[in-house]
C-alpha cells in the first residue's frame, strides 16, 4: 500500500488514523457483529453514534442550545434552495458574490424571491473579498448570504460582513472546523462535509432555533423544511449513516489534536510554508490578494499553460495528486485541509522548488 499526498479540493484527504480505525471496525462495529453500513439507523448503537457526533461537534465549535445541529443529505447545493425556502418571509435576501458557489446560491435563490447581489468580486476573477463594512443591505432582507471560504478561488472572509443586524447565512463547506468561530454571529452556518470533515453525502446545517419555522408554505417539500429534521434530530428518514459515523470520528480526531485553536495554528503553519514559497518564487505566483488568502485552498500559476500542464503531470508522477486548478481559473490549486500533514506541504514546496530550477 502506498498513499499519495492528495491535494484534491473535495472529496478530499481524511486523517489516516480515522481511515484505519474505520477499517478496523468495518466488519464488526464495537461488538455489534455488523458494519455501521449494515445497521438500522433506529438501533441503539447507531443512536449513540449520531448523538456522540452531535455532542462532539457542539463541543468543538461551542454551540449553545440556541442552535440545532442537523446532519442532512443533498450536499451544499440543496441548501442553495433550502435557505431561501425556509428563511424568506419578506421574499428578499442579499447575496455577496465572491465566487462560483456564492453565485450559484444567489441564482438559485432567485427562484424563490428577490435575491439581490449587493457586492461582488467577479470583476477581478473573484481574486479578492470586497469591502463589506457598509453595504447597501435591504431593509427588508431576510438574511445576508456569504460563501465564507471560496474553494475555487482561494479567498476567505477574514472578517465577517457588517449585516446591519440582518441574519447571516454562511456556506463554510471548505473551511468547516479549520479554525475557531463564534457561531453566535451566524443564523445558519452550513457545509458539505466532503471538503474538510468527512465523506461526500453529508451536509451539516447549524441553525439558530428561531429561524426554524412551522408556518412554511405547505408546498415546500417535507425534506427541505428544517423543522422536519430538527424535530426528528436528523433521524426523520434514513440519514447518510456511514458518513455521519466518519464525521464523528473526525470530530474526535480534531479534539485529540487540541481542538479548533490548534487546527488553526497547524493550518497557518502549513499555509505559510506554501505562501512564503509563492512570494519568493520567480516562476510561481499566487492568484489571490494577500490579505484575503485562504488557509485551505491555494491557487497558483506559472503564467504559461503548457508549463502548468507539465507541472500537474510531473507532480502526479511524484505522488502529489490533484493539483490541477479548477477549470475556471486554470493553473494549479493545492487544497491543504485539516487532514493534510505538514510533510505533504513541505514535499509540495520541495517539488515546486526543483521544478522551478529545472524550468527557468
Ligand atoms: C464543494 C462546494 C459546494 C458544492 O457542494 P456539493 O456538496 O457538491 O453540493 C458548495 N459550496 C462550497 C463552498 C463548496 O466548496
Q: What is the pLDDT of residues 278-330, one digit of tens each?
A: 999 999 999 999 999 999 999 999 999 999 999 999 999 999 999 999 988 89
- Closest C-alpha residue for ligand 1 atom 5: 76
Q: Is the pLDDT assigned to residue 214 strictly greater than 80?
A: yes
**Residue bearing cell 457598509:** 134
* Phi-psi region at 39: left, alpha or beta (left = phi > 0; alpha = psi -120 to 50): beta
Q: Using one digit for the tens of pLDDT, what is the confidence trace for 150-192?
A: 999 999 999 999 999 999 999 999 999 999 999 999 999 999 9
78 CA closest ligand 1 atom index? 9
pLDDT band of residue 360 (cuts 50, 70, 90) is confident
Q: Is the pLDDT assigned to residue 1 strictly greater than 80?
A: no
Ligand 1 neighbour 174 (Cβ under 6 A): yes
- Closest C-alpha residue for ligand 1 atom 4: 76
Q: What is the pTM of this model?
A: 0.98
Q: What does pLDDT average to over the chain?
A: 97
Q: Is the separation of the CB atoms in 171 and 109 below 8 Å?
A: no
177 DSSP 8-state letter: T
Q: Region 4-14: what's the mean pLDDT? A: 98
**Residue bearing cell 446545517:** 205
Q: How deeply is 102 buried, as exposed, middle or buried, from its count of CB atoms within 10 A (0-12, 13-18, 19+)?
A: buried
Q: Is the separation of the CB atoms in 217 and 202 below 8 Å?
A: no
- Closest C-alpha residue for ligand 1 atom 8: 75
Distance 321 CA to ligand 1 centre (A): 20
Provide the annotated active-site residues: 101, 171, 195
Ligand 1 neighbour 330 (Cβ under 6 A): no
79 CA closest ligand 1 atom index? 9
Amino acid at each position: 500500500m502506498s498513499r499519495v499526498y492528495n491535494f484534491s479540493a473535495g472529496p478530499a484527504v481524511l486523517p489516516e488514523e480515522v481511515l484505519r480505525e474505520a477499517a478496523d471496525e468495518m466488519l464488526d462495529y464495537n461488538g455489534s457483529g455488523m458494519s455501521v453500513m449494515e445497521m438500522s439507523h433506529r438501533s441503539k448503537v447507531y443512536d449513540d453514534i449520531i448523538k456522540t457526533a452531535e455532542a462532539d461537534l457542539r463541543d468543538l465549535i461551542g454551540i449553545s442550545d440556541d442552535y440545532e445541529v442537523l446532519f442532512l443529505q443533498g450536499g451544499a447545493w440543496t441548501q442553495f434552495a433550502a435557505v431561501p425556502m425556509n428563511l424568506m418571509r419578506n421574499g428578499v435576501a442579499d447575496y455577496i458574490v465572491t465566487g462560483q458557489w456564492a453565485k450559484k446560491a444567489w441564482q438559485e435563490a432567485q427562484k424563490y424571491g428577490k435575491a439581490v447581489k449587493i457586492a461582488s468580486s467577479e470583476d477581478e476573477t473573484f481574486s479578492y473579498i470586497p469591502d463589506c463594512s457598509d453595504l447597501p443591505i435591504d431593509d427588508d432582507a431576510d438574511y445576508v448570504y456569504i460563501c465564507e471560504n471560496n474553494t475555487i478561488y482561494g479567498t476567505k472572509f477574514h472578517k465577517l460582513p457588517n449585516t446591519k443586524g440582518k441574519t447571516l447565512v454562511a456556506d463554510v463547506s471548505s473551511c468547516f472546523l479549520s479554525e475557531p468561530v463564534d457561531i453566535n454571529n451566524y443564523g445558519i452556518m452550513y457545509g458539505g462535509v466532503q471538503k474538510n470533515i468527512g465523506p461526500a453525502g453529508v451536509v451539516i446545517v447549524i441553525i439558530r432555533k428561531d429561524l426554524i419555522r412551522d408556518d412554511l408554505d405547505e408546498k415546500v417539500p417535507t425534506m427541505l423544511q428544517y423543522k422536519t429534521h430538527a424535530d426528528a434530530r436528523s433521524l426523520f428518514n434514513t440519514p447518510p449513516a456511514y458518513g455521519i459515523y466518519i464525521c464523528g470520528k473526525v470530530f474526535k480526531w480534531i479534539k485529540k489534536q487540541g481542538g479548533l485553536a490548534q487546527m488553526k495554528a497547524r493550518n497557518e503553519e502549513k499555509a505559510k510554508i506554501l505562501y512564503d514559497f509563492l512570494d519568493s518564487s520567480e516562476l510561481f505566483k499566487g492568484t489571490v490578494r494577500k490579505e484575503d488568502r485562504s488557509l485551505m485552498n491555494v491557487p497558483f500559476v506559472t503564467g504559461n499553460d503548457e508549463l502548468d500542464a507539465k507541472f500537474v503531470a510531473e507532480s502526479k508522477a511524484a505522488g502529489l495528486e490533484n493539483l490541477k486548478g479548477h477549470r475556471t481559473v486554470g493553473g494549479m490549486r493545492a487544497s491543504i485541509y485539516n487532514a493534510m500533514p505538514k510533510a505533504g506541504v513541505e514535499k509540495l514546496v520541495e517539488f515546486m522548488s526543483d521544478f522551478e530550477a529545472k524550468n527557468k
